[in-house]
Structure 1
């Protein structure tokens, strides 16, 4: 298995783990904590496989597309770090031996970083999907993909509200409330719809910035200038 396939497997596994972590009231605390440990282990491997990106942070020029992608990646890194630190502070199973105090700050940090981490992870995936979607040449296929994303994204807006994601992201609530009567399949659908919503933002951002870059290059050529 080559490096690219390993990366894809790791990314898909992280998405699956993130979805499972959102079902805390179904998995229970012990399973939730171990799933969190597995997620961060894969996140560490993911970053290890992409060390070249970090090494090149201060090299080359920054256009709109690179700025967008870099900001998303760094914010995602911060969110995941917040999840890890707050998760350890709140742990009553895996890291209980550390005997750390579980404060209200840790709870809020966990809620805040988890909600933003989920959203940014989806934007990150959507941006990469935009890179590969450019290979879709068939017009009907492009329209079908666009319509599908639009419909599921619209559902994602309501699903985010149903799962209190907006309130968590902006700390409008202090505690997370779970609907124990909602079947698991609907819960997973909600979070998949939310993922598609934020992935669409990454996808649109990628396509828009790519088109803008092409327009800039065209203007340079029309004016007899060298594109930068």
Structure 2
């Protein structure tokens, strides 16, 4: 397998991992949180350099090859990351303290809300690429043939993660976060740290599952529609 491709996947995994890590602000402290954020944006610069040809093609009107929704989602993700960076500069207490607003309460609300929206958007982004990721995993693990039992176990595991994701969204009060609302009732990191990350991963898993199977359903409907066209043309003839 292409080493550069694996390097790019590792880079993307690093960005996703750091984004998840940065959610635990009250556990890690402000300085660690800001350094994690700085690392995210450094890796994103490298990520976008790897994909500069895609952006060049988009400027030439070639974005339709990957689908309008995929292109729009990528641009929303990019805009969200830039908004997260801008808001982080306004509330920084360590790395860019000189840019901090005196009254940063609203900026903090916006920053937290954007971060949770990005968690969902990144998960959908991964869901649309899940067949590619599973293909890489099969090659790395040396899995050459399909296996009905393995497929059943993986689907049951996926269902379990999706159900847990619905529960975790309630535990994390995700609705309030996405509506940019602050809450005093927040996670107790002294009681559990792993539990918090587990809930975040479950929510991400739910979004990955929904986007992946929605894409499969859409592709199936397109194939059925394409198969019906020749039959309709013969009937008309």
Q: If the TM-score is normalised by the length of the shorter chain, which range does it land in?
A: 0.7 to 0.9
Q: Which residue of 1 aligns with 2:20?
A: 19
Write the distance in 2 (CA, Å) between the matches of 1:161 and 1:186: 14
Write the distance in 2 (CA, Å) between the matches of 1:98 and 1:90: 8
Write the distance in 1 (CA, Å) between the matches of 2:128 and 2:19: 18
Q: Which residue of 2 aligns with 1:59?
A: 62
2:216 to 175, 200, 207: 207
Write the distance in 1 (CA, Å) between the matches of 2:46 and 2:211: 23
Structure 1 residue 163 displacement after superposition: 1.5
Note if contact 1:86-1:109 (Cα within 8 Å) is conserved in structure 2: yes
For normalisation by structure 1, the TM-score amounts to 0.86
Query: Quick check: 1:6 aligned with 2:15?
Result: no
Query: Quick check: 1:94 aligned with 2:103?
Result: no
Note if contact 1:122-1:199 (Cα within 8 Å) is conserved in structure 2: yes
Q: Which residue of 2 aligns with 1:35?
A: 36
Q: Which residue of 1 aligns with 2:174?
A: 165
Runs (4+) of structure 1 moved beyond 6 Å?
none
* Contiguous gaps of at least 5 residues in structure 1: none
Note if contact 2:77-2:118 (Cα within 8 Å) is conserved in structure 1: yes
Q: Which residue of 1 aligns with 2:153?
A: 144
Write the distance in 1 (CA, Å) between the matches of 2:196 and 2:97: 29
Structure 1 residue 190 displacement after superposition: 1.1
* Alignment deviations for residues 108-155 of structure 1 (CA, whole Å, 9 cap, x no partner): 210211000011111111211134547884333333222211111111
Q: Which residue of 2 aligns with 1:75?
A: 76
Q: Which residue of 2 aligns with 1:174?
A: 182
Write the distance in 1 (CA, Å) between the matches of 2:97 and 2:109: 19
Structure 1 residue 60 displacement after superposition: 6.2
* Alignment deviations for residues 142-188 of structure 1 (CA, whole Å, 9 cap, x no partner): 332222111111111111221222211123x2346332333111112
Q: Which residue of 1 aligns with 2:105?
A: 104
Q: Which has the larger radius of gyration?
A: 2
Structure 1 residue 26 displacement after superposition: 1.0
